[in-house]
């Protein structure tokens, strides 16, 4: 009797618990020429990065851009070049938030940057495999890592189709893979 009472109490507590993080996290859809990719973003882990990315989404800065770098066993990267292959204008770089407990695992989205850890602007990448070499390992030069700020929740098969396209010697797809637009989903 006591056991079933405790079980009933535990079930009622779980049923009454607040919404999960996924229920309140922003969700965006990347509409590509090869299908849609849905992402959940993590503002509690990377507030500056998520705000920056969502501002580019709101500004429609990702509309008619391309995945300009596709490395089959590494990442697909986009957001920085238009369909005319011209570099897009950016806002100022943001602070690197790679020390947030998130890892560059298959299906995560992170910010691309130069060797300067605080140089990320509009370019992002999706990991097509686990890439622990990109994770935060410390503040020493070369150890700062790349900031993961979300994950694919639908459309990983689209990511896999993109990663399989034919590329040239600069890792650019021979046939352009376009980002038609990225839109934020309403909750």
171: domain CATH number is 2.40.100.10
Domain span at 180: 25-184
- pLDDT at residue number 22: 53
Position 19 in a domain: no
User: Has residue 108 been placed in a domain?
Assistant: yes
Reported pTM: 0.88
Are residues 68 and 84 in contact, defined by beta-carbon separation less than 8 angstroms?
A: no
Does some domain include residue 64?
yes
Which of these, 175, 154, 142, 115, lies nearest to 31 by C-alpha position? 154
Q: What length does the chain have?
A: 187
CB within 8 Å of 7: residues ≥ 6 apart: none
Is 168 domain-assigned?
yes
- For residue 6, being part of any structural domain is answered with no
**pLDDT in the model for residue 186:** 80
- Residues in the chain with pLDDT values less than 50: 1-20
Distance CA 125, CA 75 (A): 6
Model pLDDT, residue 63: 98
Residue 16 belongs to a domain: no
| Within-domain flag for 149 | yes
pLDDT digits (tens, 9 = 90+) for 45-70: 999 999 999 999 999 999 999 999 99
In a domain, 3, yes or no: no
Tell me 121's DSSP state.
Answer: -
Name the domain count of the chain: 1
């Amino acid at each position: 009797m006591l056991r079933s009472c405790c079980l009933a109490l535990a079930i009622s507590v779980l049923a009454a618990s607040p919404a999960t993080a996924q229920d309140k996290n922003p969700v965006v859809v990347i509409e590509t020429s090869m299908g849609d990719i849905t992402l959940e973003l993590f503002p509690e882990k990377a507030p500056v990065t998520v705000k920056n990315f969502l501002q580019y989404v709101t500004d429609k800065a990702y509309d008619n851009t391309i995945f300009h770098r596709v490395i089959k066993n590494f990442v697909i990267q986009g957001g920085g070049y238009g369909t005319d292959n011209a570099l897009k204008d950016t806002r100022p770089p943001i602070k690197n938030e790679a020390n947030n407990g998130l890892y560059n695992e298959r299906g995560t989205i992170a910010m691309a940057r130069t060797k300067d850890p605080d140089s990320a602007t509009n370019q992002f990448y999706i990991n097509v495999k686990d890439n622990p070499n990109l994770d935060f390992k410390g503040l020493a030069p070369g150890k700062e890592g790349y900031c993961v700020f979300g994950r694919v929740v639908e459309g990983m098969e689209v990511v896999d189709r993109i990663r399989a396209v034919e590329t040239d010697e600069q890792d650019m797809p021979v046939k352009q893979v376009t980002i038609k637009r990225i839109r934020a989903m309403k909750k």
